[in-house]
């Protein structure tokens, strides 16, 4: 999780067990490489997505990083801000790219169309011919919060700047966390927080108009680690062979799809059921909070999301016709993050060796 997402990280750790059950779709009784498909605007077929952060002082060079992505058959990279050296290294790579402005830049993009024009001129136009920029994320986990009211206008202004510059095929969206929802047990009861309903209705309308996904960060790990008495490990890491949550006609044997369907249900309540939910981050740490953090648990969780060799991509009970598409969090272990848990989501060590083996065959 990026350093500037640490408030969400901390809030997860301090939710009490009832709050976790409500937020993460549970009844009171009851980041080596992994390859994922992405299905977003301008992209078809199975695409691999892995997040890339820079909170480390010993990370590989941009060129070596891109080579590692390609050698491991990764097709897409999500960055948390536009890094000029990474964009240079991405030229001609064929990797699909997602990035966005830093959260503190969103208000300016919303209030000043010239700022959006400058963003496009600086970070899109110089690279558009040989870097496959597919997604611009306006805000990472800013809902709820003081930045949230500016996101819709920022998305509109960036879309307008792209259009006026003759750029097509880039989806402009935002990234939300589970903290944007309320009443998530059962998943069908989920809705956006009252203070966010108007904002999310406007954003979802834009996304529907532009055929863009809503991105969400989904972390069963935090719920399980907070309340292991009521949340089974099998439910959290895709090992349950039977339904754990029954929601009318929908049955859930893993927490991941319950969380995703919480967003689907919330979108339906604001008449945006046609907007696809794409998972912008999901992963499991290997260290820092035993026994919940471990290589075995991380491998089991990531294996549950793994799709290899054209196998069926994961779908949710609420959206059986739509694949759940995921950016895995994250590429490298980063030693400048706060604490061992945050540092250990990475699937590769800085020397580019895998933390644990979890590869799709070539």
Known catalytic residues?
Answer: 141, 281
d(CA 131, CA 127): 5
DSSP 124: T
User: Residue 168: exposed, middle, or buried by beta-carbon count in 10 A (0-12, 13-18, 19+)?
Assistant: exposed
- At residue 176, φ and ψ (nearest 5 deg) are -115, 160
d(CA 325, CA 298): 19
Q: Give the list of residues 6+ apart from residue 282 with CB closer than 8 angstroms, or none.
A: 217, 218, 219, 256, 305, 326, 327, 328, 329
User: Helix or strand or coil: residue 80?
Assistant: coil
Closest to 218 measured CA to CA, from 277, 262, 178, 265 = 178
């Amino acid at each position: 999780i990026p350093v500037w997402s640490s408030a969400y990280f901390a809030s997860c750790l301090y939710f009490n067990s009832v709050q976790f059950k409500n937020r993460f779709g549970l009844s009171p009784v009851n980041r080596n490489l992994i390859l994922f498909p992405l299905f977003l605007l301008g992209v078809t077929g199975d695409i691999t997505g892995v997040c890339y952060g820079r909170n480390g002082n010993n990370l590989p060079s941009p060129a070596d990083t891109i080579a590692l992505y390609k050698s491991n058959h990764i097709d897409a990279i999500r960055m948390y801000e536009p890094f000029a050296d990474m964009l240079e290294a991405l030229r001609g790579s064929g990797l699909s790219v997602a990035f966005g402005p830093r959260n503190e830049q969103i208000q300016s993009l919303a209030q000043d169309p010239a700022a959006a024009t400058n963003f496009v001129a600086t970070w899109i136009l110089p690279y558009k011919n040989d870097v496959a920029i597919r997604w611009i994320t306006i805000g990472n986990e800013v809902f709820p919060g003081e930045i949230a009211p500016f996101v819709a206008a920022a998305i509109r202004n960036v879309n307008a700047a792209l259009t006026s510059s003759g750029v097509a095929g880039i989806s402009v969206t935002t990234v939300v966390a589970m903290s944007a929802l309320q009443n998530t047990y059962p998943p069908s009861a989920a809705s956006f927080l009252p203070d966010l309903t108007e904002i999310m209705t406007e954003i979802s309308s834009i996304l529907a108009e532009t055929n863009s996904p809503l991105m969400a960060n989904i972390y069963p790990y935090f719920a399980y680690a907070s309340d292991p008495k009521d949340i089974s490990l099998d439910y959290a890491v895709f090992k349950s062979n039977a339904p754990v949550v029954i929601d009318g006609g929908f049955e859930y044997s893993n927490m991941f799809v319950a969380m995703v369907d919480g967003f689907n249900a919330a979108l339906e309540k604001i008449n945006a059921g046609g907007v696809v939910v794409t998972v912008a981050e999901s992963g499991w740490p290997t260290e820092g909070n035993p026994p919940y953090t471990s290589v075995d648990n991380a491998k089991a969780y990531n294996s549950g999301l793994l799709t290899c060799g054209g196998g069926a991509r994961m779908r949710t009970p609420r959206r059986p016709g739509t694949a759940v598409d995921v950016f895995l969090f994250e590429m490298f272990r980063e030693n400048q993050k706060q604490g061992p848990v945050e540092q250990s989501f990475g699937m590769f060590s800085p020397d580019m060796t895998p933390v644990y083996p979890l590869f799709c065959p070539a």
